[in-house]
């Protein structure tokens, strides 16, 4: 029997309507368009407005976009995974609600969280389920409503993040397309540098924590930046070497969109032409688990069967890594 690999067979995406531009941010915190653009490459990001709308709203829209574009019968989906750092609620799974709302009535569903590497690590989980031969259609959704955990008083953080989601369908492939190799790592020493201290099981929210806003995300930007540059580039280089890929053989770098300078540094390390680097950070900022699938959704029309894609991500934890995947269809 030929080897089964996990191939991507459809993608979808969704970003909310409200556009938070650098100009609007200038009226909220002490910043300016020139600083944000030159330090991060971001011009605007999307924010989900509306009462009771959480991450599942974004996930459902992205999944529906995939389902409609591909005439997919949702009852044929076996598993729905929502990769997110901002679940709707504690205890209740965002994925279970999402699966029901999209009509995936024969699926089981669960959430995974590895901060900005959630979608990347999710790809690894999906690959193992598909390779087992047990599951045939798995929907992996990367979705985050980052605006729910950001202080719009903190100029060092609020300028980076946005809300958004992307959905990707994986199916078994026996022609050699799909996930080929992965290099994934974590280092808990990093949690001091990117975290929300209160609101989890270690530290309950108190009157003082509310005043100090420590239930919002805090980041030591410089330290995160340095670690992201080193580790994303290092993981990418390792994947290339291990698979005997030089930059001529790579068609696309699909890198987490946190800061354009981090993405450029990764591309430079492997001397990749900027035309092969997927980039949409200027429109959406950092959507955490949404960045990789939103890139695929935006670039789908340019992807060709057999293209070699290198995924790379870095995020809180720290968690990071790189995945090599060959694209399985012409859109």
Distance, in Å, from the CA atom of 252 to the CA atom of 274, rounded to the nearest integer, reads: 10
Q: Which of these ranges, 35-43, 68-76, 86-94, 238-246, lies near ligand UT7 under the rule CB under 6 A?
A: 35-43
Residue of 56, 84, 173, 259 interacting with ligand UT7 (CB under 6 A): 259
Omega before residue 296 within 30° of 0, cis: no
93 near ligand UT7 (CB under 6 A): no
Indicate the residue among 99 and 115 with the shorter CB distance to ligand UT7.
115
Indicate the residue among 136 and 195 with the shorter CB distance to ligand UT7.
195
Per rule CB under 6 A, count of chain residues that contact ligand UT7: 20
| Chain-centroid distance, C-alpha 56 | 15
286 near ligand UT7 (CB under 6 A): yes
150 near ligand UT7 (CB under 6 A): no
Question: What are φ and ψ of residue 316, in 5° steps?
Answer: -55, 145
Indicate the residue among 160 and 179 with the shorter CB distance to ligand UT7.
160
Please name every residue paired with 165 in a beta bridge, in sequence order, or none if there are none: 14, 143
Task: Give the per-residue contact string, 175-194, with ligand UT7 (x = CB under 6 A; - = no).
Answer: -------------------x
49 near ligand UT7 (CB under 6 A): no
Indicate the residue among 100 and 148 with the shorter CB distance to ligand UT7.
148
State the CB neighbour count (10 A cutoff) for residue 53.
15
Whole-Å CA distances, 117 to 83, 139, 188, 267, 288: 9, 17, 14, 18, 8
State the CB neighbour count (10 A cutoff) for residue 92.
11
Q: How far is the CB of 237 from ligand UT7 (least distance, A)?
A: 19
The residue assigned the tokens 């958004």 is 164
List residues with catalytic annotation: 116, 256, 286
Residue of 5, 40, 55, 322 interacting with ligand UT7 (CB under 6 A): 40
Task: Tell me if 28 sits within 8 A of 157, measured CB to CB.
Answer: no
Q: Which two tokens stand for residue 295?
A: 């890139």
Residue of 95, 116, 179, 196 interacting with ligand UT7 (CB under 6 A): 116
195-254 binders of ligand UT7 (CB under 6 A): 219, 221-222, 224-225, 228
Q: How far is the CB of 246 from ligand UT7 (least distance, A)?
A: 28
156 near ligand UT7 (CB under 6 A): yes
Residue of 26, 31, 33, 78 interacting with ligand UT7 (CB under 6 A): 31
Residue of 72, 258, 270, 323 interacting with ligand UT7 (CB under 6 A): 258
- Please name the residues in contact with 227: beta carbons below 8 A apart, sequence gap of 6 or more: 190, 193, 314, 318
125 near ligand UT7 (CB under 6 A): no
State the CB neighbour count (10 A cutoff) for residue 189.
10
Distance, in Å, from the CA atom of 225 to the CA atom of 222, rounded to the nearest integer, reads: 5
Residue number closest to ligand UT7, CB atom: 221
Q: How far is the CB of 29 from ligand UT7 (least distance, A)?
A: 7
- Cα–Cα nearest to 109, from 132, 126, 90: 126
- Cα–Cα nearest to 167, from 84, 234, 229: 84
Strand-pair category, 138-145 with 79-83: parallel
Indicate the residue among 179 and 194 with the shorter CB distance to ligand UT7.
194
136 near ligand UT7 (CB under 6 A): no
For ligand UT7, the binding residues (CB under 6 A) are 31, 35, 39-40, 116, 155-156, 159-160, 194, 219, 221-222, 224-225, 228, 258-259, 286, 315
């Amino acid at each position: 029997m030929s080897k089964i690999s996990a191939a991507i067979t459809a993608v979808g995406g969704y970003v909310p309507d409200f556009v938070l531009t650098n100009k609007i941010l200038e009226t909220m915190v002490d910043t300016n368009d020139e600083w944000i653009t030159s330090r991060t490459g971001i011009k605007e990001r999307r924010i989900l407005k509306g009462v009771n709308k959480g991450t599942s709203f974004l996930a459902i829209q992205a999944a529906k976009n995939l389902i409609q574009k591909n005439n997919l019968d949702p009852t044929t989906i076996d598993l729905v995974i929502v990769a997110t750092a901002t679940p709707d609620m504690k205890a209740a799974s965002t994925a279970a609600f999402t699966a029901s709302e999209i009509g995936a009535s024969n699926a089981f569903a669960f959430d995974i969280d590895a901060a900005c590497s959630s979608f990347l690590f999710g790809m690894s989980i999906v690959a193992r389920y598909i390779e087992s031969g047990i599951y045939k259609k798995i929907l992996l959704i990367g979705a985050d409503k980052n605006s729910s955990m950001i202080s719009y008083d903190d100029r060092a953080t609020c300028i980076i993040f946005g809300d958004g989601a992307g959905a990707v369908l994986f199916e078994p492939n026996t022609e050699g397309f799909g996930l080929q190799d992965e290099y994934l790592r974590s280092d808990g020493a990093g949690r001091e540098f990117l975290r929300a201290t209160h609101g989890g099981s270690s530290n309950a929210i108190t009157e003082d924590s509310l005043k100090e806003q420590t239930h919002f995300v805090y980041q030591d930007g410089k330290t995160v930046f340095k670690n992201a540059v080193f580790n994303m580039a290092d993981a990418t280089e390792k994947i290339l070497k291990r698979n005997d890929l030089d930059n001529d053989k790579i068609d696309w770098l699909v890198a987490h969109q946190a800061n354009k300078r981090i993405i450029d540094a990764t591309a430079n390390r492997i001397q990749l032409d900027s035309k092969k680097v997927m980039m949409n950070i200027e429109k959406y900022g950092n959507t955490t688990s949404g960045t990789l699938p939103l890139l695929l959704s935006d670039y789908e029309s340019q992807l060709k069967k057999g293209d070699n894609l290198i995924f790379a991500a870095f995020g809180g934890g720290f968690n990071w890594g790189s995945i090599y995947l060959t694209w399985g269809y012409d859109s």
